[in-house]
Structure 1
Amino acid sequence: MTARAKPLAHPGDGLGTTSVPTAPKDPAFASVAAPDIRRGFIIGFIGVVIFALSLPMTRLATGSTDAPQLSGVFVAFGRAVVAGALSIIYLAVTRAPRPARADRVPLAFIAGGVVIGFPLCMSVAMRYVESVHGSAILGFLPLATAVIGAWVNRQRPPAIFWGVAALGSALVMAFPFVKTGATLGGFNPADLLLFLSTFCAATGYVYGARLARTMTAEQVICWGCVVSLPVTLPIAIWSWPTTDASTAAWLGFLYVSVGSMWAGFFFWYRGLALGGTVRISQVQLVQPILGMIFSVPLLGETLDAVTITFGLAIVATVFLGRRLATRG
């Protein structure tokens, strides 16, 4: 069997611990060379740009309630099958070793989180809400990742961090009500799916970061897609569309299959490994805004003042929360 590939350096997981008084004293900061930090930001930003197109492209693939295209179930599981096929080719060409027994649990969380859970919840939800709406709610994802990471890694960010987390949660939950006129009747059930998709993605990110310490970033997402095939392939075949879909819908599906589900993680995880999770994870804060901007030319959607205000406020709380998480 081929020797286990040596992963890129993975300095830190983006959260402070009580043993690190201040961020400058964290060895993760001192051990990363300036050129690697710059490369990490550039490569990580490319990954974020790829991810930012996920919502508008998913909306393009699924269509709307008035003009439905591909079903959300097919988009979710079909994209995982395409990524799984590409992963098999990649792992074979690079002669990657099989995951160790200890890797099975993290891979299960990755498969359930970013390969199945997040795409399924998001794809179903995006038929019922506009892309700019979904981008604003998913702006909570970086902070959710920090919260789950603190719990999984048994870390204790300062109390003020949790205060900012609560503020961010309040903004996210208030957004759909304010946007629809502050009435409970205006709440879209699809928002619950978006919240659940955020939890799934955050969990997959945390366990993916842990697994990237023992294998390369590329192998992490590839093995996650491959081990998911026994679930994703049958459901993708079962949900294969029985009616014609537009060329634009299939192009959207192709993008989320190759870009969002596969190649984007190559750039994202490699950027994290090069520059350190604490620094590079902040790049993802621009993802909701980029998603809103991309939705305008791609889907003909508009940016209203409420969406822009809440989107920026959510990004601000996530950015502050990330900074506070490096202290403690």
Structure 2
Amino acid sequence: MESFGPWSLVAVRSVLAALVAGSCLLALRVPLPERRHLPGLAVVGAGVVLGFPLLTTLALRTSSTAHAAVVVGLLPLTTAACSALRTGHRPTRRFWLAALAGAAAVLAFTVGQSGGALTAADGYLFAALLVCAAGYTEGGRLARVMPGWHVIGWALVLCLPLGTAAAALALTHEPVHLTGHGVAGLLWLAVGSQFLGLVVWYRGMAAVGIPKASQLQLAQPLLTLVWSALLLGERLTVAAPLTAVAVLVCIAVTQRS
């Protein structure tokens, strides 16, 4: 966001990732997905390719990376809950008690950091949790019947027309200030986070199941806090890592339930 506006950043990263994914699919002559898989791929595209990146980027205009990381720490719980609704699996009472405790910790943190009230940034982040959980759940389900990289690859390609139009529009309305730091961040988001990271993520979800795989994101809040301090020079408040640890403990209980 040092170089691009939020709309430009999300649109351009999705276009670049789609071009990489499309080139791989074309080079390996991967057949088109079956029509029955298109609704699920559309959910993956709407949730993981467009919705989650856009909502979190909009939140980061006024929220620190550390603050966002703690809120997004609820994503494993949200994904497990979405998977339970989608597949009909019913977790134990112990699972839900731990989930509610984690949610309470995050809500207390967000309200405390915003001076006693939830902000627009928090609204974006909580909406991002819902759309990303839906995308992860559908992607994990599809990865059981097709390779994981096909799932994210076709989802990216399906979003290419919309992403291209959005990028052309956003770049004409938002200022662009190219820096080495900003361009490197964009390339990492497109190739690493948007494509390669999800390739191995969906493969893992297919191998061990959606609820269990979702708990592997336990380390994400703490890792994000560390990287935000190292790469962006953000100062961490005492509440941020304490809340992140509390969330990790709660989700660890759900993993053992």
| Alignment match of 2:205 (pick from 266, 272, 278) | 272
Where does residue 131 of structure 1 map in the other structure? 65
Q: How far did 1:188 drift?
A: 2.5
Matching residue within 229, 240, 243 for 1:310: 243
| Superposed counterparts of 1:92-171, under 5 Å | 92-171=26-105
The aligned length equals 255
CA contact (8 A) 1:74 1:236 kept: yes
* 273-282 vs 87-96, greater mean Cα deviation: 273-282
Aligned partners of 1:179 and 1:307 also within 8 Å = no
C-alpha distance after superposition, 1:217-237 (max 9, x if no partner): 010000000011121110011
Q: Secondary structure of 2:145's partner?
A: coil
Question: What is the identity, as a one-letter code, of the residue corresponding to 2:5?
Answer: S
RMSD after superposition: 1.6
Moved segments of 4+, more than 4 Å: 274-280
The aligned residue for residue 295 of structure 1 is: 228
1:219 to 130, 144, 150: 150
Aligned residues of 1:145 and 1:203 also touching (Cα < 8 A): yes
CA distance in 1, matches of 2:84, 2:125: 22
Q: Percent identity?
A: 33
For the 8 Å contact 1:80–1:225, the answer to whether it is kept is yes
2:4 to 70, 74, 78: 70
2:204 aligned with 1:263: no
Question: Higher mean Cα deviation, 112-121 or 265-274?
Answer: 265-274
Structure with more of its chain in helix, by fraction: 2
- Cα distance in 1, alignment partners of residues 64 and 239 from structure 2: 14
Q: 1:323 Cα deviation (Å)?
A: 2.6
2:130 maps to 199
Using the TM superposition, give the Cα deviation of residue 316 of structure 1 relative to its aligned residue in structure 2, in angstroms: 1.4
Q: Is the 8 A contact 2:5 2:176 kept in 1?
A: no
Aligned to 1:249: 182
Unaligned runs of 5+ in 2: none
Residue 318 of structure 1: how far off its partner (Å): 1.7
Q: Which residue of 2 is the match for residue 46 of structure 1?
A: none
Cross-structure match for 1:229: 160
**TM-score, length-scaled by structure 2:** 0.93
Amino acid paired to 1:210? R
CA distance in 2, matches of 1:87, 1:197: 23
Alpha-carbon contact 1:80-1:257 (below 8 Å) kept: yes
Partner Cα distance (1:263, 1:232) in 2: 19
Instruction: State the shift of 1:117 in Å.
Output: 0.5
Q: Does the 8 Å contact 1:125/1:193 carry over to 2? A: yes
Which residue of structure 2 aligns with residue 45 of structure 1? none
Matched AA of 1:229: L
CA distance, structure 1, for counterparts of residue 69 and residue 40 of structure 2:
27
State the secondary structure of the residue aligned to 2:33: coil
Q: 1:203 to 1:279 in 2, by over 3 A?
A: closer
Unaligned runs of 5+ in 1: 1-61, 64-68
Q: Which amino acid aligns with 1:169?
A: A
Deviation string, structure 1 residues 20-52 (Cα, Å, up to 9, x no partner): xxxxxxxxxxxxxxxxxxxxxxxxxxxxxxxxx
CA drift at 1:101: 1.2
Secondary structure (helix, strand or coil) at the match of 1:239 reads helix
Cα offset, 1:123, TM superposition = 1.1
Question: Are 2:122 and 1:188 equivalent residues in the alignment?
Answer: no
Going from structure 1 to structure 2, the CA distance change for 1:176 and 1:117 (only over 3 Å counts) comes to same
Once the two structures are TM-superposed, the CA of residue 104 in structure 1 deviates from its matched residue by: 1.1
* Distance in 2 between residues matched to 1:108 and 1:154, nearest whole Å: 22
**Contact 1:131 1:292 survives alignment (8 Å):** yes
CA distance in 2, matches of 1:213, 1:274: 8
- Tell me, in whole angstroms, the C-alpha distance in 2 between the residues paired with 1:156 and 1:280: 17
Tell me, in whole angstroms, the C-alpha distance in 1 between the residues paired with 2:5 and 2:243.
29
Aligned partners of 1:101 and 1:310: how far apart in 2?
44
What is the TM-score with the length of structure 1 in the denominator?
A: 0.74
